[in-house]
Amino acid sequence: MKRLVPILLLPVALVLFGAALAPKLASEERLRTEVAALLEHAAGQPPRIDGPVRFSIFPWPALEVSEIRFGEGSATLTVPRARVVLDLLPLLTGQARADHIELDQPELALAGGVDIDPFSTGVLRLASAKFNADLTVTNGRLVLTHGGTREVVVPAADLRIGWRGGRDAAIEGRVVWRGEPIHVDLAASSLGVLLTGGASPIRVKLSGPPFDMAFDGTGKLAGGPVANGTLTVASRQLRQTLAWLGLEAPTAQGFGSFSLQAQSILSGQGATLSGARLELDGNVSEGGFNLRLDGARPVIQGSLAADRLDLSPYGELSISDAAGDNWSGETIDLSRLSQLDVDLRLSATEVRAGAGRLERMAASATLKSGRLLLAIGEAEAWNGIFRAALHVSPAPVGAEARLDLSADDVALAGAMGDLFRMGRLEGTGSFRFTAGGTGASVAAIVGGLNGSFSLSGTDGSLVGFDVGRILARLEQRPLSATGDLRGGRTPYSQIELESTIRNGIATLSRLDVASDKLRISLAGESSIADRDLDFVGVAQLVSAAKAGDAPPQGAASAYVAGAAPGAPQNVSFELPFIVRGNWNQPVVLPDPQALIRRSGAARPLFSKPAAYGSVAPAP
């Protein structure tokens, strides 16, 4: 056996000797011709070689070449250094065949942005090439050129690309995009059918810290590149993914776990998603979308349906400052509204927003030419029907905003509490609110607000004051009003409110509260910008008038004007009062002169004004 070893090693030695001697016998021109043919065979187009070419034997026979360039115009590929590793067996017969090609620091430059046509042309060339080899890309780059500027989109790419005779292709490796490593896994088969207009099976997987994406379907190039298949996108923190893409989440909270799965049609003009299942922050909805990219702005159209939506992860809408005592003075920026157009429809069986709940809601969001409309067409809420619309559009200074709210037969405590943070009104009723203004901030808009508010309700209570108890006590002891008048409830059978808003001032023209025991009337003004109150009113204790009774004389004991339908009522006690202070802590003060006049002990003082040096009432 030992005698056979030298004989067996003799061919190997001859091969090594021939390989070592070949570089010295072959001219550089011959090597340049060979490597150009191998690269053209691999890429489907001839290269331009400006650097030297040499042949090396160790660690494996290979042709090493520098300064290579493919393509001209909109798409060019430059390779500073390449190494074509040769297949050993064909080399013994005098033929050069590439086993694999190593590209060091290649750069793909696209002029004027990402154009799909060069990719389509390149894929068709590769599909027609009868090339079986692997390409290894080390530290590659993708660059976009705009005039004289260069934008490095992918600063680093390490990929292994496999081509199998124009039939199958596979790409696997890692790229760095926006500072994050993304793992790439792409496979395509039956590439030859692309030459006849057919569709080739495609599988793509992208995964990294920002997101995971997978596509499984087919793609074709005839008539423009189109991919059709199942698309899956997921992100552990959508807020971070949006920030990574240079986008800002619409709200300060939420936008955590996200996933999307849909049947998709992807093309250079946009995308169509059907049978989509979208999950965000635990909310699941289904529907479809259309994304169009062939206009002046991207356009998103679609509809979603959900069984249950919980909006609590996104926090509460706040238009006040951090302390909550004043309106926000932060400058309104609507520049993002002009970046795209949106037309979305949403329906949900149940929507929760904090303590509020809407049922069977139909809503829409429309954004066109920078003008935004958010609308709730109709929803069941607070045991009634609720509608809302918010219009926002750019203005020469800041923004123009308008809000329209309407509710019919709702529980007033829940509706007023959830919408206006005013929980002092109970009962069932309806209201209409419309207001609009223009300004650079919320505070400026509120300062110039114009609109109206009206409300009517039945069978409820005013929470925080028991007016009947207070009036009954003051009727017996008029000077006992120094105590705390707060606490309890004032039942009513009917309430009516009408108010207008002009330049940020709400004028309460009518607030009438009626029951079988009392009447309350209130009027005045409230500065919405300063959140203060300046109201005057009259509270009356009443009793049913007996048949045949003559109307009592005097303002304090007259028939009640505007009383509820039925028998007239007599006024047994009347008390004027004022309401001052801010919205959060209003102060109710009875008229002291009326109480003094009511007091029997103080009445003689009013009959002798001269004793006090006064012969006429004080102005």
Write out 6-52 in H/E/C secondary structure: HHHHHHHHHHHHHHHHHHHHCCHHHHHHHHHHHHHHHHCCCCEECCC
Q: What is the DSSP letter of 339?
A: S
**Three-state SS for 557?**
helix
What is the per-residue pLDDT for 24? 45
**Least confident piece of the model among 99-108, 149-158, 554-563:** 554-563
pLDDT one-digit tens code per residue, 489-536: 889 999 999 999 999 999 999 999 999 888 999 999 999 888 899 999
For residue 28, count other CB atoms closer than 10 A to its CB.
12
Rounded to a whole number of angstroms, the distance between the first and last alpha carbons of the chain is: 136
CA distances from 495 to 408, 459, 572, 599 (A): 15, 9, 21, 31
In a domain, 228, yes or no: no
**Least confident piece of the model among 24-28, 302-306, 383-387, 397-401:** 24-28
Residue 112 has pLDDT above 80, yes or no: no
What is the per-residue pLDDT for 546? 56
What is the per-residue pLDDT for 363? 95
What is the per-residue pLDDT for 251? 77
Tokens 């209570």 -> residue: 461
Of 403, 428, 448, the last residue of a domain is 448
Residue 394 has pLDDT above 80, yes or no: yes
Tokens 């004289």 -> residue: 148
pLDDT one-digit tens code per residue, 400-440: 999 999 999 999 998 988 888 777 889 999 999 999 999 99
Per-residue pLDDT, averaged over 569-576, amounts to 78
602 beta partners:
none
What is the per-residue pLDDT for 32? 86
In a domain, 559, yes or no: yes
In a domain, 238, yes or no: no
pLDDT one-digit tens code per residue, 232-272: 999 999 999 989 988 778 777 899 999 999 999 998 889 99
In a domain, 380, yes or no: yes
User: Which amino acid does the sequence have at 255?
Assistant: F
How would residue 539 be classed by pLDDT, with cut points 50, 70 and 90? confident
In a domain, 141, yes or no: no
C-alpha 505 chain-centroid distance = 33
For residue 509, count other CB atoms closer than 10 A to its CB.
12
Of 448, 482, 515, the last residue of a domain is 448
Angle formed at CA 460 by CA 459 and CA 466, multiple of 5 degrees: 130
Exposure b/e, 167-183, CB count within 10 A at least 16 = b: bbbbbebebbbeeeebe
What is the per-residue pLDDT for 597? 64
Whether residues 540 and 510 fall in one domain: yes
Of 85-89, 109-113, 428-432, which has the strongest mean pLDDT?
Answer: 428-432
How would residue 348 be classed by pLDDT, with cut points 50, 70 and 90? very high
pLDDT one-digit tens code per residue, 5-54: 455 444 555 455 455 545 544 677 888 888 888 888 777 778 999 999 98
**Three-state SS for 297?**
coil
The backbone torsions φ and ψ at residue 558, rounded to the nearest 5 degrees and listed phi first, read -100, 165
What is the per-residue pLDDT for 40? 81
What is the per-residue pLDDT for 604? 57
Number of domains the chain is built from = 2
In a domain, 176, yes or no: no
Whether residues 366 and 320 fall in one domain: yes
For residue 235, count other CB atoms closer than 10 A to its CB.
22
Range of the domain at 511: 452-547+554-610
Whether residues 472 and 585 fall in one domain: yes
CB 539 within 8 A of CB 520: yes
User: Mean pLDDT in the chain?
Assistant: 81
CB 216 within 8 A of CB 185: no
Of 394, 426, 448, the last residue of a domain is 448
In a domain, 215, yes or no: no
Strand ranges inside 321-473, DSSP E: 341-353, 356-368, 371-381, 384-394, 399-411, 425-439, 450-463
Dist CA 182 CA 205 (whole Å)? 10
Give me the half-sphere count of Cα atoms (radius 13 Å) on the Cβ side of residue 25: 6
How would residue 560 be classed by pLDDT, with cut points 50, 70 and 90? very low
Whether residues 480 and 592 fall in one domain: yes
More confident residue, 113 or 104: 104
Whether residues 490 and 406 fall in one domain: no
Whether residues 470 and 605 fall in one domain: yes
Dist CA 173 CA 169 (whole Å)? 14
Of 48-62, 440-454, 460-474, 587-601, which has the strongest mean pLDDT?
Answer: 440-454
User: Among residues 530, 528, 556, 529, which one has the least CA distance to residue 542?
Assistant: 556
Whether residues 456 and 603 fall in one domain: yes
More confident residue, 271 or 463: 271
Whether residues 390 and 483 fall in one domain: no
Dist CA 329 CA 319 (whole Å)? 9
Exposure b/e, 70-93, CB count within 10 A at least 16 = b: bbeeebbbbbebbbbbbbeeebee
**Least confident piece of the model among 109-118, 300-309, 342-351, 441-450:** 109-118
Whether residues 337 and 442 fall in one domain: yes
Write out 443-508 in H/E/C secondary structure: HHHHHCCEEEEEEEEEEEEEECECHHHHHHHHHHCHHHCCCCCCECEEEEEEEEEEEEEECCEEEE
In a domain, 256, yes or no: no
More confident residue, 227 or 617: 227
Dist CA 161 CA 184 (whole Å)? 11
How would residue 593 be classed by pLDDT, with cut points 50, 70 and 90? low
**Least confident piece of the model among 123-137, 199-213, 363-377, 600-614:** 600-614
For residue 61, count other CB atoms closer than 10 A to its CB.
22
User: Among residues 318, 433, 405, 415, which one has the least CA distance to residue 358?
Assistant: 415
Dist CA 412 CA 403 (whole Å)? 19
Angle formed at CA 212 by CA 206 and CA 215, multiple of 5 degrees: 60
pLDDT one-digit tens code per residue, 166-203: 678 889 999 999 999 999 999 988 877 877 778 889 99
Whether residues 421 and 500 fall in one domain: no
Per-residue pLDDT, averaged over 383-393, amounts to 95
Tell me how long the chain is. Answer: 619
What is the per-residue pLDDT for 432? 96
CA distances from 368 to 288, 297, 337, 438, 579 (A): 20, 10, 8, 19, 45
Helix (H) / strand (E) element for 554: namely: none
Whether residues 480 and 409 fall in one domain: no
User: Among residues 444, 432, 436, which one has the least CA distance to residue 499?
Assistant: 432
User: Which amino acid does the sequence have at 572?
Assistant: S
Hey, what are 550's tokens? 């003559």
Whether residues 392 and 409 fall in one domain: yes
